[in-house]
Amino acid sequence: MVIRSTWNRCCSAHDRDLKCHIKTGFVLLVALTLSLSVIFFVYDFSFNPVKDRHAWFNLVNKTHKSYNVVTEGLSGKRFVWNFATNRQIIQTITAQKHHILVHHHVAHPSNYHFLLDEPDKCRQWDPFLVFMVPVAPHQVEARNAIRSTWGNESSVQGKAVLTLFLVGLTGGPEAQQKLEEESRQHRDLVQSNFVDSYFNLTIKTMVIMDWLATRCPQASYAMKVDSDMYINVENLLSLLLAPNTPRENYITGYLMWDQNVIRNKKSKYYVSEDLYPASKYPTYVLGVGYVFSNDLPKKVVDASKDMKPFNIEDAYMGTCLKRLGIKPSRAPDPSQFQTYMKDSKGHDLSKVITTIARSPKQIIEFWQKVKRHK
């Protein structure tokens, strides 16, 4: 309208005046420059990492404030979901406008697809237990530490064990090329097309659950374990093979009871009342490492379709389990699931199942220490 109005005012009086053409051309040039700037801004923003930790978890509450995104899901079907326009975050996907409004939230794994995959690994391996390790793309040292220690244990107590690493987007072609080379070498990487950040751990966890449900349903148990963890696989297998360990609807680890929801906006653990209105979380298992029967991944993924996501992934898992009517189990010996050890030198690592290491080097030290004392 601005361009048309300017054109009329100028040309009605001086249709053939050179001055008119110059002014009109100038207005058109300014309009074109502004349009290109907006396009560049949207394009550039869509390929930058997420800086606003809440934006990924904004759902559409009012349909007149929405931006529709279409992408191909893991099953090959196309899905539509909405981001709030107050803080538009457009992921690195092929996006286009669409007129159908579907209430479909961003944490559900059908919103993503795999860039690197090992779809036949479980069919070839037939594992009893699968370790799924969420890790940042650049953390090669952490992956190598696990590969050279507990992640290299492929058969324990006569049971096949498989370890895989799950990563998100690398952020650049050079990093992606390195990751693909690493994948060809080790055949243990799974990559999905979500922005890999701390505040997207809920997405990362749900993609892990989907991979287990669709690529590895034959496994008896699985464990989501962080990349800074030492795992005593022998002790874990003893727990899982015990006659009183449930084979279904089972999850255990370091239990978190009666945890308050953090409402302090300065905390990285902040969750708004809009995302999670209750003041306390249901009992959940600390996300550094929890083991579960492999019937749970599909159930959790299905439950998550109706659960509003928030950025505390282990508490979110707890809310999904509560919806399913499943309570986390207390381990027979809770002391086997450790966090940080105050005195790692004096602690008896031969009895633990999990403990946090302070570096990839310490993972190797813990593993070597246990091996020496066998």
Q: What is the pLDDT of residues 16-45, one digit of tens each?
A: 444 445 455 555 665 666 655 544 444 443
| Stronger pLDDT, 112 or 3, i.e. the higher one | 112
Quote the tokens at residue 33: 């420059």
Of the candidates 41, 83, 50, which has an alpha carbon nearest to the alpha carbon of residue 194?
50
The three-class DSSP label of residue 121 is: helix
Residue 342 pLDDT exceeds 80:
no
| Stronger pLDDT, 71 or 187, i.e. the higher one | 187
Residue 146 pLDDT exceeds 80:
yes
Q: CB count, 10 Å around CB of 328?
A: 23
- In this prediction, residue 332 has a pLDDT band, given cuts at 50, 70 and 90, of very high
Quote the tokens at residue 88: 């538009």
Q: Give the H or E element holding residue 30.
A: helix 18-46
pTM (predicted TM-score): 0.74
**What pLDDT, on a 0 to 100 scale, did the predictor assign at position 111?**
86
- In this prediction, residue 110 has a pLDDT band, given cuts at 50, 70 and 90, of confident
**What pLDDT, on a 0 to 100 scale, did the predictor assign at position 373?**
79
**What pLDDT, on a 0 to 100 scale, did the predictor assign at position 262?**
98
Inter-residue contact 91 to 131 (CB < 8 Å):
no
Contacts of 193 (CB under 8 A, 6+ apart): 91, 92, 93, 112, 113, 114, 115, 168, 169
C-alpha torsion angle, residues 282, 286, 290, 296 (rounded to 10): 20
**What pLDDT, on a 0 to 100 scale, did the predictor assign at position 173?**
95
**What pLDDT, on a 0 to 100 scale, did the predictor assign at position 343?**
65
Residue 140 pLDDT exceeds 50:
yes
Determine the average pLDDT of the residues in 306-334: 96
Determine the average pLDDT of the residues in 195-204: 93
Mean pLDDT of the chain: 80
**What pLDDT, on a 0 to 100 scale, did the predictor assign at position 136?**
97
**What pLDDT, on a 0 to 100 scale, did the predictor assign at position 27?**
54
**What pLDDT, on a 0 to 100 scale, did the predictor assign at position 32?**
61
Residue 217 pLDDT exceeds 60:
yes
**What does the alpha-carbon distance between residue 134 and residue 137 come to, in Å, rounded to a whole number?**
9
